[in-house]
Structure 1
Amino acid sequence: MSTISTPDTDAPSAETPDYPMTRAAGCPFDPPPTLHTLQTEAPISRVRLWDGSTPWLVTRYEDQRALLGDPRISADSTLPHYPHAGSAGQKERRRQSRSFIAMDDPEHARQRRMATGAFSIKHVEALRPAIQKIVEHLIDELLAGPKPVDLVQAFALPVPSLVICELLGVPYADHDFFQANSKVLIKRTSTPEQGRAATERLVDYLDRLIGDKLAHPADDLLSTLAARVRAGELSRREAADMGLLLLVAGHETTANMIALGTLALLQHPDQLARLRQSDDPKVVASAVEELLRYLNIVHSGRRRVALEDIEISGVTIRAGEGVVVANDIGNRDPAAFPDPDRLDIARNARHHVAFGFGVHQCLGQPLARVELQVVYGTLYRRIPTLRLATDLDQIPFKHDGLAYGVYELPITW
C-alpha cells in the first residue's frame, strides 16, 4: 500500500483511532463521540481495524454519497486491502459465502436483477395486507399473554421472520435454527470456526431448499432462483449464497429496527404521542424515515476499496486503499440534517443513507419500509399504554454485533 501524505491527513500513526468506536455511556441511540469530532475536524482520516489495517474513514454525508456513487470505488470483498468488518470470523464467513452485495458490476447487477422483482415497490405493497395481518395476530397474542414480556422474542423477531419466510419460501417452523445461526454470523466476537460452522449449516440448509424447489417449484423467491439454476444462469451454490443473504438480512435488520425504534420512541414520549395519535399514513412513513436516520442499525460502516486514485475534500485516496463509509455519523451531519441529534418524526429525512447509496444500496429497503410502517402505525395504537418494564440502563444493547439493536426489551402496559 502506498504511503499517503495529504494536506489534511498524515499516514497512519500510533494515534490512529480504533474502529468501530465506543458509544458514550447513557447515549445508546447516538454514534460514538469520536465520530462527531472526526466529522468536524478530520472528515476523511485513518482508522485502525481489528486486523491492524488502516483504511480511510469517511464521516461527512456529502463525501459519503459521492464515494458510494463513484464507479472507482469497489465493493469486491476479495480484493487486497478490503476493510473487512468485525473479526477474523466475519472475514472467514465472507470467504465461504460471497453474495452479490460483495461484488461489482456486471456480475453484481446480473445476480441482483434475479431478486429485484420480489422486492419491487409494487410487489411489496401487495404484501401489505398480509404483513398487517401478521402484526395484528402477534399483537393479539401479546395482549392475551403474560406481562411483562420480551418484545424482541414475542414480536420484533417474529414479524420480519414470518414475512421473509413467506417471500423466500422458507418454512417458518425452522426459525429457531436459522435465527440461532444468523446470530453467530453477525456477532463480532464469533471465532472463524464458529462462523465457518454456522455458514456451512445455513448454506447446506438453503441448498436443500433449492433442491426441493427444483423438484417442486412454488410461488416464492427460492423457486425463482431454482429456475435460474435449471436454466444454467446460477450454480446451486450461488443460489444458496443468495438465499442466505436474503434470509439473514431480511429478518435481522428489521427486527432490530422494530425493537430499537420502539425503545427510542418510549424515550421520546412527545414523538411517540404524535405518531400514536395520527392515522395519516404520511406521518407514519415520515416517522419510519426519521427513525432509520436517527438509529442506524448498520453501525459498522459500508466497506469499499478504491480502484483508482480519488481526490475528495482535500484528501487523496490511493488505488488499492480501503474505505469505510460511516453511515451512522453521515446521518447525523448538520449540513444534511439540521439539529441532527434530535429525533423529529416530522423531519423530511428520506435522503438518509441508512440503506446506503448508489448501485449497492439495500435491495430490501421497500420491504423494510412497509414492515416498519405497519408496525409503527399499529403497535402503539393497539397498546397505547405500552411502556418499559425495566430501567434504560438495564437494557442489553448489541454493541458486539454488526447490526445494532437490543438483545431483550422487557415491556408491559
Structure 2
Amino acid sequence: MPYDPTAPAAINAGTTTDDTAQEPPTLPTDRHTGCPFDPPAELTALSDEPVRRMRYADGHLGWLVTGHAVARAVLADPRFSSRYEFMHMPVPVEGMPGELPPAPVGDIIGLDAPEHTRYRRLLTGRFTVRRMRRLTEQAERFTAECLDAMEQAGPTADLVEMFAQPMPALMICELLGVPYTDRERFRDQVATIFDQAADAEAKGRAYTELIQYLDELVLAKRAEPTDDLLSELTASDLTDEELAGIGGMLLAAGLDTTANMLGLGTFALLSNPDQLAALRADPELAGQAVEELLRHLSVADPLVRSALEDVEVEGRLIRAGETVTVSVQAGNRDPRKFPDPDRLDIHRRATGHLAFGHGIHQCLGQQLARVEMAVAFPALLARFPSLRLAVPPREVPLRERANIYGVIRLPVTWDEE
C-alpha cells in the first residue's frame, strides 16, 4: 500500500522488515542549497520512505522518521519515551556527554507518565488560549518598548539584539513574575547562555547564576505572592526545587525558540517581498502568517524518542531500546500534507504542522509564542515601512550548529522620516 501522509499512520500493521543490508545514512544536516530557510535537500528527499534506518553519532543503529503522518503517530504513542537517559543523540553536540543524564527536577520535557502527567496537569490550566490572550496587552507594550529603543539606535540596527531577543525575554519575566529591578540582570544572564560566541565557562557561570536567581525568586514568591505563574504554583504541592526547575524549563523552552522565530521569521519575510507586502497590507493575517512561518522554518528540530517495547511502524519493526529521530523539518515539508511545501505562503492554512511537536509533549507554551509573534511581526512592519536587510542575504550569520536554528545577527536598516 502506498504511503498516505493524510491518513493516520499504521502502527502495529503491515509487514515487518529490517533494512540493514546497506550501511544506513547519518542525519543530513548540511543546508547547501543556498537558501537559509530550507532543510537539507537530502532530508526532504527521504519523505518517500517515511521510516528508515539511521546511524547515530555514537554508532547506535536507530531510525529516522521524515513523513508527516508517521511523525504524528510516533509522537503520540506512549510506547516511545521522552526520557533523556534512554536516548542516543542523532548528531554530536559539543559539551554534551555521550550518555545523557536523566532530566533535572522540573524539566517535564524529559519525563514520561506518570511523572510527566503530574506536572502537566498543574501547568496546562495556566497556559490556556484565553489566558495567553490576556497577555496580548503586555506583548504590545513590550514590543513597543523594544521598537522605540531600536528606532532611537537606528537607522541601522541588529534586529536580534534590539528586538528578537529582548521582547520574548520581557514576556518570560512577566510570566514568571521577575521584578522590574531584576530584569536587566535576568536578561544579561539569559543572553550569555544563548550567545553562540560565548565560551563554555561564561555560559556555565551564567546558567549557575540564573538557577540561583530562580531559587531566590521561588522563596520570594512563597513569602509574598504576586500575580504571576510562579506565585500561583506555590499553592500547589510542588517543592521549591521543582518550582525553580519549572521556571528554568519554561525559560529554556520558550525564550530561545521564540527569539529565533522572530529573527529568522523577519529574515524570511524580508527575503519574500510579496509575503512581506501581504502581511503589511493586512495585519489581520498575522495569526495565519505565524502558523506558516512556524511550518516553513521549523527552528526546533529534530525531536527524539526511544522505544520502550517492540513497535511496528509502517512495516518497520522498531525494537525496544532503539532511538527514533523525528525530523520536524521534513514532516513540515511533506508535499502530500502541505502542497508546494517549499514556498512560503502566508495565505496557506498550515494547521497540523509539527513545529510545536505533537502528543502529550506538545509545547506547553505554544499559545504564548503565538501571541508574541502575532503581535511582534505586524508591529515591526508598521513601525518601519522601509525595513530591509543592511547586508547581502549571504552575509547574515546563521546558527547552523545550534539545536535551535536561527540567525546570530540580523543587520537591518530603514529610511528615517
Give the structure-1-normalised TM-score.
0.89
- Which residue of the partner structure matches residue 274 of structure 1? 278
2:62 paired residue among 42, 55, 58: 55
Q: CA deviation at 1:88?
A: 6.1
Kindly tell me the number of residue pairs found equivalent between the two proteins.
395
Q: Residues 189 and 400 of structure 1 are in contact (CA less than 8 Å); yes or no, is this contact kept in structure 2?
A: no
Q: Secondary structure in 2 aligned to 1:37? A: helix
Unmatched 5+ stretches in structure 1? none
Q: 1:225 to 1:252 in 2, by over 3 A?
A: same
Alignment of 1:208-227 (within 5 A): 208-227=216-235
User: Does 1:159 find its partner at 2:159?
Assistant: no
- Which residue of the partner structure matches residue 133 of structure 2? 125
State the distance in 2 between where 1:234 and 1:82 align.
30
State the distance in 2 between where 1:243 and 1:7 align.
44
- Which residue of the partner structure matches residue 287 of structure 1? 289
Alignment of 1:98-137 (within 5 A): 98=105, 99-137=107-145
Q: Secondary structure in 1 aligned to 2:374? A: helix
Q: 1:45 to 1:406 in 2, by over 3 A?
A: same
Q: CA deviation at 1:22?
A: 1.1
Q: CA deviation at 1:244?
A: 0.5
State the distance in 2 between where 1:20 and 1:243 align.
33
| Paired letter, 2:194 | K
Q: Secondary structure in 2 aligned to 1:324? A: strand
State the distance in 2 between where 1:238 and 1:82 align.
26
Q: Secondary structure in 1 aligned to 2:235? A: helix
User: Does 1:366 find its partner at 2:355?
Assistant: no
Give the structure-2-normalised TM-score.
0.88
Q: Secondary structure in 2 aligned to 1:305? A: strand
- Which residue of the partner structure matches residue 342 of structure 2? 341
- Which residue of the partner structure matches residue 390 of structure 1? 391
Q: 1:23 to 1:89 in 2, by over 3 A?
A: same
Alignment of 1:56-75 (within 5 A): 56-75=63-82
Alignment of 1:25-40 (within 5 A): 25-40=33-48
Q: After alignment, is 199-208 or 212-221 more displaced?
A: 199-208
Q: CA deviation at 1:135?
A: 1.1
Q: Residues 6 and 314 of structure 1 are in contact (CA less than 8 Å); yes or no, is this contact kept in structure 2?
A: yes
Q: 1:144 to 1:373 in 2, by over 3 A?
A: same
- Which residue of the partner structure matches residue 258 of structure 1? 262
1:172 paired residue among 179, 183, 187: 183
The superposition leaves residues 297-346 of structure 1 with CA deviations (integer Å, 9 ceiling, x where unpaired) of: 102x1111111211111211111111111111100001100010111100
State the distance in 2 between where 1:194 and 1:37 align.
40
State the distance in 2 between where 1:353 and 1:48 align.
23
Q: CA deviation at 1:29?
A: 0.4
State the distance in 2 between where 1:84 and 1:108 align.
24
| Paired letter, 2:268 | A
The superposition leaves residues 6-44 of structure 1 with CA deviations (integer Å, 9 ceiling, x where unpaired) of: 536216x6x43233511124121011111122222x321
The superposition leaves residues 156-203 of structure 1 with CA deviations (integer Å, 9 ceiling, x where unpaired) of: 11110001101111232223443245327xx79986x78765554332
Kindly report the root-mean-square deviation, in angstroms, between the aligned alpha carbons of the 2 structures. 2.4
State the distance in 2 between where 1:234 and 1:64 align.
33
The superposition leaves residues 92-147 of structure 1 with CA deviations (integer Å, 9 ceiling, x where unpaired) of: 88647351111111211211222223321111111111211211222222223232
State the distance in 2 between where 1:201 and 1:84 align.
30
State the distance in 2 between where 1:238 and 1:210 align.
10
| Paired letter, 1:56 | W
Q: 1:384 to 1:177 in 2, by over 3 A?
A: closer
State the distance in 2 between where 1:67 and 1:242 align.
26
Q: CA deviation at 1:284?
A: 1.3
State the distance in 2 between where 1:8 and 1:309 align.
13
| Paired letter, 1:46 | R
Identity %: 45
Q: CA deviation at 1:289?
A: 0.4
State the distance in 2 between where 1:28 and 1:53 align.
30
State the distance in 1 between where 2:192 and 2:28 align.
23
| Paired letter, 2:334 | D
Q: CA deviation at 1:63?
A: 0.3
Q: 1:212 to 1:328 in 2, by over 3 A?
A: same
Q: After alignment, is 372-381 or 87-96 more displaced?
A: 87-96
Q: Secondary structure in 2 aligned to 1:227? A: coil
Q: Secondary structure in 1 aligned to 2:312? A: strand
- Which residue of the partner structure matches residue 17 of structure 1? 25
1:236 paired residue among 228, 236, 240: 240
State the distance in 1 between where 2:197 and 2:162 align.
25
State the distance in 2 between where 1:72 and 1:115 align.
23
Q: After alignment, is 152-161 or 244-253 more displaced?
A: 244-253
State the distance in 2 between where 1:372 and 1:143 align.
19
User: Does 1:297 find its partner at 2:299?
Assistant: yes
Q: After alignment, is 315-324 or 87-96 more displaced?
A: 87-96
Q: Residues 77 and 84 of structure 1 are in contact (CA less than 8 Å); yes or no, is this contact kept in structure 2?
A: no
- Which residue of the partner structure matches residue 314 of structure 2? 313
